[in-house]
Amino acid sequence: MKNKADIVIIGGGIIGCAVAFNLAKKGMKDIVVLEKEFLASGATGRCGAGVRQQWGTRQNCLLAKESMTILENISDYLEEKVDIELKQKGYLLLSFSEKETKQFAKNLEVQHSLNIPSMALTPHQAQEIVPILNTEKIHSAAFCPTDGHANPFLTTEAYAKAAKKRGVEICTFTQATAIKIENGKIKGVQTDKGFIETERVLNAAGGWAYEIGEMAGLKLPVFSERHEILVTEKVPPMLDPMVMSFSFNIYCQQTPNGSFVMGHGPKNEKPGHNVNSTWQFLEAMAQKVTYLLPAIKKVRVVRQWAGSYNISPDRQPIICESEQLPGYYMAVGFSGHGFMLGPSIGVYLSELITGETPSYDVTLDLGRFARNEIIAEPSVV
């Protein structure tokens, strides 16, 4: 392990690896990524890995669209032949009320302003795309054919491999234990395998973002919340798009290998690092999915697990350099959409760090809360 670095990135999830790759591509030399377990062992490797461009705010639409462009061309982009199991069969968003349909219409306007090919559908049209859909209470739907999902583990690995090729040192099973600060300046990062001298640190620690903030005396306005997810046995293809509903509270996809992956947003979950599974989740999911997609009621759930959403006050990420502590960067609070923002945030953050003008005109800084400029994204699970 290097004992001196230009930047130490704490966290080997999609964010840490994407930023490392982009920095290396820009020519930064001594980049070290610390990962306390294996790559993508945090939220990234546990997530649903959906990539949706159908957002309600311009900047989320933009970032997701840019990410999708990168993922579509990932081999060229990384200059490396990789398969990330990208399946682009769209996202079908379901509305269960007049009010939700109106919101969808507003969102479509934003999306169309960025040339995202989304469209409004009647329940009947939705059923043409998903024949197994129970449209009984569905009011309307929205669909974007270029949305989709990828394999999060392989995507992170692909970034990591390309980063390593460009000289990045990725230290797995290496935990950051302290950040050394003298006279208000970062001096280095202590790990369980030794000390690394550096003036720059990136907090990309996902569920542990708050703790990595505390290491530098920062109280970041984020907390972690358990989100559960399950996977079924492999069955023949019967669901093309990711099906999702905010009000019915579910997302469900069928991966290219045939298993279904699904989850929902929990109610009354206590903040914390608990990622145990619950039987209540199984019951809730079974109840919903047997209603919405009755044809899969005989499919077997083979495994359930959970991961952390790292959540900020407006459920949107915080990406900036700390004003209190120069050299301390953060990419935290991704809630349920860090995977799909990863590729574009990798570009954006590397530009912030190297002092270039960012490619995307977005406001994601920590100061937004003090300025009362919270991001009012209506479409989150």
Site string for another protein, 281-310 (x = CB under 8 A): -xx-xxx-xx-----xxxxxxxxxx-----
- CA neighbor of 67 nearest in space, from 345, 256, 320: 345
User: How far, rounded to the nearest angstrom, does the alpha carbon of residue 78 sit from its chain's CA centroid?
Assistant: 19
Query: Total residues contacting ligand FAD (rule CB under 6 A)?
Result: 39
Identify the residue among 5, 12, 150, 210 touching ligand FAD (CB under 6 A): 12
Q: Measured between alpha carbons, how far is 334 from 317 in angstroms, rounded to an integer?
A: 5
Q: Is 44 in the site for another protein (CB under 8 A)?
A: no
Q: Is 53 in the site for ligand FAD (CB under 6 A)?
A: no
State residue 35 phi and psi, 5-degree precision: -135, 120
User: Closer CB to ligand FAD, residue 127 or residue 211?
Assistant: 211
- Part of the chain binding ligand FAD (CB under 6 A), chosen from 158-166, 276-284, 305-313, 353-361: 305-313
Q: What does 290 bind: another protein, ligand FAD, none (CB cut-off 5 to 8 Å by kind)?
A: another protein
Q: In the bound complex, what is the minimum distance in angstroms from residue 286's beta carbon to another protein?
A: 4
Neighbouring CB atoms inside 10 A of 273's CB total: 12
Q: Is 278 in the site for another protein (CB under 8 A)?
A: yes
Identify the residue among 31, 176, 216, 230 touching ligand FAD (CB under 6 A): 176
Instruction: Give me the amino acid identity at 100.
Output: E
Q: Is 341 in the site for another protein (CB under 8 A)?
A: no
Identify the residue among 120, 154, 218, 238 touching another protein (CB under 8 A): 154
User: Closer CB to ligand FAD, residue 98 or residue 233?
Assistant: 233
- Part of the chain binding another protein (CB under 8 A), chosen from 32-40, 89-97, 212-220, 361-369: 32-40
Asked if 264 contacts 285 with a C-beta cutoff of 8 angstroms, the reply is yes
Residues contacting 218, CB < 8 A, separation 6+: 322, 324, 325, 328
Q: Is 171 in the site for another protein (CB under 8 A)?
A: no
Q: In the bound complex, what is the minimum distance in angstroms from residue 61's beta carbon to another protein?
A: 30
**Per DSSP, which regions of 102-222 are E strands?**
119-121, 140-144, 148-149, 169-171, 176-182, 185-191, 194-197, 201-203
Residue 62 tokens, joined: 């933009």
Q: What does 339 bind: ligand FAD, another protein, none (CB cut-off 5 to 8 Å by kind)?
A: ligand FAD
Q: Is 307 in the site for ligand FAD (CB under 6 A)?
A: yes
Q: Is 189 in the site for ligand FAD (CB under 6 A)?
A: no
Q: In the bound complex, what is the minimum distance in angstroms from residue 299's beta carbon to another protein?
A: 6
Q: Measured between alpha carbons, how far is 288 from 22 in angstroms, rounded to an integer?
A: 41
Q: Measured between alpha carbons, how far is 305 from 39 in angstroms, rounded to an integer?
A: 17
Q: Measured between alpha carbons, how far is 28 from 132 in angstroms, rounded to an integer?
A: 50
* Window 229 to 268, contacts with another protein (CB under 8 A): 233, 257
DSSP for 216-265, please give it: TT---S-EEEEEEEEEEEE------SEEEETTTTEEEEE-TTSEEEEE--
Applying CB under 6 A, the residues found at the interface with ligand FAD are: 10-16, 34-37, 41-44, 46-50, 175-176, 204-208, 227, 229, 263, 307-309, 334, 336-340
